A = this chain, B = another copy of it.
Amino acid sequence: MSPNVSVRRYDKLCHNFFNATGGSLRILGRMKNTPHILIVDDSNEISELVERFLRQHGFRTSSAPDGNAMRRALANHQVDLIVLDLMLPGDDGLVLCRDLRAKSSIPIIMLTAMGEETDRIIGLEMGADDYLAKPFNPRELLARIKSVLRRTETLPETRHPPKETTIVFNLWTFDITKRQLITEDGVIVPLSTGEFRLLLTFIQHPGHVLSRDQLMDLTQGRDTEPFDRSIDTQVSRLRKKIELDPKQPEIIKTVWGGGYVFTPTVRNE
């Protein structure tokens, strides 16, 4: 394992990308200034820290302590990306996120406090483009911002419609906002919260073996206890709902001594 190398290379890629696209976009006549990031967090300390850091790295920034200030900021400036705290006075981050998504497609990165009962997955469910658990490394936030900007910037200029929340795999249609599965025949299969989180996590990493530790972290944000079988139980419950023959699972395969893999290819609708 060598996180250093990969991260460093990643930075370099981002850097090159910005140079390249910056130039080409300008040629195309669409003036692209340095991106403007809006930080929405009620903690002054964090806002200032993040703003300073991002400015050092060539972004323009603004900050807002709550939802109202955020709306004012959006009215006054052209904002390219929002870093949105989950816990806010007044409307909370999820509400704001959903509202934003309803009318615009400004990229959103959610900040969630580790161990909060609110799960990070909800952020993605509400249409956030990425999430980051607190406490976080500013470098990591920077990397996420660049990554999200790269993803969204390359899209055509036409306003992208509100984020799709329907995913198709195998014979199933998975409606993320409604938290339910639909068969080809239109039969609706409701999922519990745990099953939903698990399935969403699998869908976000198709074809990759996920260990029980990773699954626990990604679905619950906590560590596995010594004899923790809860992931196994949830997988079993999920299989009973989505597998044709739960005894011979096709969708979620077991990797002996390793974890589980989600095998179908996923398609956005």
Q: Which A residues contact B (CB, under 8 angstroms)? A: 1-4, 6-10, 13, 16-17, 19-21, 23-24, 28, 31-33, 35, 45-46, 49, 53, 78, 80, 101, 104-107, 114, 120-121, 124-125, 127-131, 133, 135-140, 143, 146-147, 150-159, 161-162, 164, 177-179, 188, 190, 192-194, 203-209, 211, 213-214, 217, 223, 226-227, 248, 250, 253-259, 261, 263, 265-266
Contacts and interface: CB of A to CB of B under 8 A. Distances in A.
Given A20-B258, A107-B137, A133-B151, 14 more contacts: A4-B105, A6-B227, A7-B154, A23-B257, A24-B255, A46-B121, A49-B124, A130-B135, A147-B157, A156-B208, A161-B207, A162-B208, A179-B261, A179-B263
Nearest to A212: B17
A8 to B, nearest CB: 7
Given A125-B138, A177-B263, A213-B150, A2 B78 contact: yes
A157 B177 CA distance: 22
A177 B49 CA distance: 44
Nearest to A217: B150
A41 to B, nearest CB: 13
Contacts of A131: 135
B143 A138 contact: no
B152 A3 contact: yes
B265 A161 contact: yes
A63 to B, nearest CB: 15
